[in-house]
A and B are shown apart, each in its own frame.
Chain A
Amino acid sequence: MTSSTAPRASNARRLPPFLLLSATLLCPVAAQAQAFAGPDWTATLRGWVAAMLALMATVVGLVSSLHHRERPASFLIGMMLSWVVLRAAAAPSAAGLRPLLLTLLVLCGVQYLLRQMNWKRSWIDHALLIQCLVVPASLLLTGGQPGMLGPVWQAVLSLELVAAMGWALWLRRERLKAGADEASSREFVLMAALLLPTMAALVAERLLAASSDLLWISAAPWLNLMLPVLMLGLGLQLVNSVAHARVDAEKRIAALEQRMNERIAEVERSHSQLAEQKLEQVTERERKRIAADLHDDLGAKLLTIVHTSESDRISTLAREALEEMRLSVRGLTGKPVHLIDALGDWRAEVVSRLGQANILAEWKSPAEDIEHTFQARSYVQTTRILRESVSNIIKHSGATHATISSAVQDGDFILTIQDNGQGIPSELDGRLDRGHGMASMKSRAKQMHGQCLVESGPGWGTVIRLTIPL
């Protein structure tokens, strides 16, 4: 009874009582082993094996008490301790205890093998417990006489163990088929190496016991040792698997740490992205606020100058200042202008202005698949140059026809404005008069790192060639 309560308590975190039990068992068993030293060497061997088992039970108990997942190990401990006590109870006075210990050993063995494979059936649990009562009871009732009952029960118990081992191996093989990895196939080989000889030994022992007494007496001590050896093997396997589990856990922790670091880096990245977005939003809002203020205040004043000034020159300057203000406000975002869009804007303005002045306008654009863009400032400067040259055509040239053509060539945008007017009078050629604004057109082109060439002769019309790098 003492050994059956020990395994059940072993899952607690505190030091389980079976440890005390196995520790106290260890001394007499070792003493017994010493005592038998001498002629009966098999007894000595068994004594040592029993001592090892008691030690192993202690180790397994220590390991499994700390690991919840190793709970089935309590059955292994039960099995070991049962065997140890069985050996210790070799004296004839303890003969009544032996059947109980034997059934307990079988119970623990069967449960350990099956639960290790997560195979649990309540009827087996019940049947094994009932067996623990029935076997000793039936033997007690027959008065412990050496009759047929003893060998029959022994055979039944052995067969139960053999069946459990066979079934455990089968389950392991099935699991291996479902999904094999290196560790589990190695474990299968190990288990087969442990279980198959034990099964053979158990069967052989029973067969020998049934057939020949003489052979049984000489072979039984050897065959009997298979079971404790199996238990030692199972114990070592358990300790080994716990050690492996720890290595795995360390690897997992390392992987987890790495993943966590990655996540932290990701969060930091997205945080900085968010901050950037926020900054952009704030900048955009501020830009709009400044724009609104400038338009409301500076813009309104410039506009008043544009429309109340007596001088054309001052109105033009005020108008340009207004444009400049807008550009500065917009320039904060610095959005480039698509050349194709710019051409659309220019065409609409030039053609309608020339049309109003009854000048026939001809517009030649490059092919439609141009994908170049203009800097916002270049766009505004080019617009001014174009506007100025159209004004010149309307005001001064007396032309009836104007051709505006544009092209993209070697990374340059080329705009040619040609009219059939009277050309620039030769007396103006030297000083490039203010009214025609040629000087300002040229300086604007220079600001864009471009070039503005004016070709003109009296009666020949005027050609303005503007080249701007894109």
Chain B
Amino acid sequence: MNHILLLEDIPEIRAWLKALVKQVFANAQITECSRVQDALALVSGQRFTLALLDLGLPDGSGVEVIAALREKQPEVQSVIVTIHDDDEHLFPALQAGAFGYLLKEQSRELLVEQLQRMSQGEPPLSPSIARKVIAYFAAQAKPSSQALLHEVSLTDRETEVLLRVAKGFTLPEIGVQLGLSRHTIADYVKQIYRKLNVSSRAEAALEAQRLGLFGRN
């Protein structure tokens, strides 16, 4: 019933991840691959419910697979599993439409717990990523930026949630502070991720348009 795509190039880590996924999703069917090209071929041929994707691969980046999934199977939850803990790597992946990320070096228990939360629709959001998202939307709200981007802006509530995450409050804590249920808070976070993706796509479209205009001249 659950069909999970697993993209990881190091065999040992792939085996370890597979065991981990089996522990959380006992009945899941797992399809493994180690190259971006193989994953792209699989994505256009089979239906998945969850994709665990490494970022740095021999023939490219997992971000390409996230983008392809976003386009062909938007209902799939793409989760990055990476060794990179820096925003430089994580933020573009989130912008491309990832639902969350796991750091490979974390303990098995923590990873299991995070996967379980994600399967229940609670996306992870670290303080540093929250800060980055705030800065990103603040830059877009500036009068100098393109008008089209203003349409994708955060609501006050979403900004409030982000600010609290940035200060280190957990999602359940924020739920209590704002008098909202866990689910509502999770929905806010999902909405923030979605807007991040929409906004970055609008940005890309504008950039393409700009380049196109220049090309015609």
Q: Which residues of A contact B (CB under 8 A)?
A: 292, 295-296, 299-300, 303-304, 306-308, 319, 322, 326, 330, 341, 343-348, 351-352, 355-356, 363
- Which of B28-36, B137-145, B164-172, B190-198 sits within the interface? B164-172
Whether, in the assembled complex, B175 has its beta carbon less than 8 Å from a beta carbon of chain A, the answer is no
Return 27 A-B CB contacts under 8 Å, by A number. A295-B83, A299-B83, A300-B10, A303-B10, A303-B104, A304-B10, A307-B12, A307-B16, A319-B105, A322-B83, A326-B85, A341-B127, A343-B167, A343-B168, A344-B127, A344-B131, A344-B166, A344-B168, A345-B126, A345-B127, A347-B167, A348-B126, A348-B165, A348-B169, A352-B170, A355-B170, A356-B113
Given A295-B56, A307-B108, A344-B131, 17 further pairs, Cβ under 8 A: A300-B10, A303-B10, A303-B13, A307-B13, A319-B105, A326-B86, A341-B131, A343-B168, A344-B166, A345-B126, A345-B168, A346-B168, A348-B165, A351-B169, A351-B173, A355-B172, A363-B168
Contact A308 B16 (CB under 8 A): yes
Min CB gap A140→B, angstroms = 76
Contact B16 A344 (CB under 8 A): no
Q: Which residues of B contact A (CB under 8 A)?
A: 10, 12-13, 16, 56, 83-86, 104-105, 108, 113, 126-128, 131, 165-170, 172-173
- Distance of A322 Cα from B104 Cα, bound (Å): 11
List the B side residues contacting A330 at CB < 8 Å: 86
The 4 closest A-B pairs by CB, nearest first: A347-B168, A344-B127, A344-B168, A348-B168
> Which of B85, B128, B168 has most chain A Cβ within 10 Å?
B168
Contact A303 B105 (CB under 8 A): yes
- Distance of A307 Cα from B14 Cα, bound (Å): 11
- Distance of A309 Cα from B105 Cα, bound (Å): 13
Contact A304 B169 (CB under 8 A): no
- Distance of A307 Cα from B112 Cα, bound (Å): 14
The chain A residue sitting closest to B127, CB to CB, is A344
* Contact A303 B168, CB 8 Å, known A295-B56, A308-B16: no
Contact B170 A351 (CB under 8 A): yes
Contact A303 B83 (CB under 8 A): yes
Majority-rule SS of A interface residues: helix
- Distance of A355 Cα from B171 Cα, bound (Å): 12
- Distance of A43 Cα from B89 Cα, bound (Å): 105
Contact A296 B104 (CB under 8 A): no
The chain B residue sitting closest to A307, CB to CB, is B16
- Distance of A295 Cα from B13 Cα, bound (Å): 14
Min CB gap B14→A, angstroms = 11
List the A side residues contacting B56 at CB < 8 Å: 292, 295-296
List the B side residues contacting A346 at CB < 8 Å: 168
Contact B168 A304 (CB under 8 A): no
* Contact A341 B83, CB 8 Å, known A347-B169, A351-B173: no
List the A side residues contacting B128 at CB < 8 Å: 341, 344-345
- Distance of A345 Cα from B86 Cα, bound (Å): 13
Contact B83 A300 (CB under 8 A): yes
Min CB gap A387→B, angstroms = 11
Min CB gap B108→A, angstroms = 8
List the B side residues contacting A292 at CB < 8 Å: 56
Min CB gap B1→A, angstroms = 28
Min CB gap B209→A, angstroms = 28
List the B side residues contacting A308 at CB < 8 Å: 12, 16
Contact A344 B167 (CB under 8 A): yes
- Distance of A330 Cα from B89 Cα, bound (Å): 13
List the A side residues contacting B85 at CB < 8 Å: 326
Min CB gap A348→B, angstroms = 4
CB within 8 A of A322: which of B105, B126, B165, B167? B105
The chain A residue sitting closest to B113, CB to CB, is A356
Min CB gap A283→B, angstroms = 16
- Distance of A292 Cα from B86 Cα, bound (Å): 12
The chain B residue sitting closest to A316, CB to CB, is B107
List the A side residues contacting B10 at CB < 8 Å: 300, 303-304
List the B side residues contacting A341 at CB < 8 Å: 127-128, 131, 166
- Distance of A348 Cα from B114 Cα, bound (Å): 14
Min CB gap A61→B, angstroms = 60
Contact B168 A295 (CB under 8 A): no
Min CB gap A341→B, angstroms = 6
Min CB gap A375→B, angstroms = 17
Contact A306 B168 (CB under 8 A): no
List the A side residues contacting B86 at CB < 8 Å: 326, 330
- Distance of A154 Cα from B156 Cα, bound (Å): 98
Min CB gap A389→B, angstroms = 17
* Contact A351 B168, CB 8 Å, known A341-B131, A345-B126: yes
The chain B residue sitting closest to A343, CB to CB, is B168
The chain A residue sitting closest to B171, CB to CB, is A352
- Distance of A319 Cα from B106 Cα, bound (Å): 9
List the B side residues contacting A351 at CB < 8 Å: 168-170, 173
> Which of A292, A307, A322 has most chain B Cβ within 10 Å?
A307
Min CB gap B91→A, angstroms = 15
Min CB gap A280→B, angstroms = 16
List the B side residues contacting A322 at CB < 8 Å: 83, 105
- Distance of A304 Cα from B104 Cα, bound (Å): 10
Min CB gap A346→B, angstroms = 7
Min CB gap B179→A, angstroms = 19
Min CB gap A327→B, angstroms = 11
Min CB gap A177→B, angstroms = 50
- Distance of A255 Cα from B199 Cα, bound (Å): 55
The chain A residue sitting closest to B16, CB to CB, is A307
- Distance of A345 Cα from B167 Cα, bound (Å): 8
List the B side residues contacting A326 at CB < 8 Å: 85-86
List the B side residues contacting A306 at CB < 8 Å: 105
Min CB gap A68→B, angstroms = 46
- Distance of A345 Cα from B170 Cα, bound (Å): 11
List the B side residues contacting A347 at CB < 8 Å: 127, 167-169
The chain B residue sitting closest to A368, CB to CB, is B167
List the A side residues contacting B16 at CB < 8 Å: 307-308
Contact A348 B83 (CB under 8 A): no
- Distance of A355 Cα from B168 Cα, bound (Å): 14
List the A side residues contacting B166 at CB < 8 Å: 341, 344
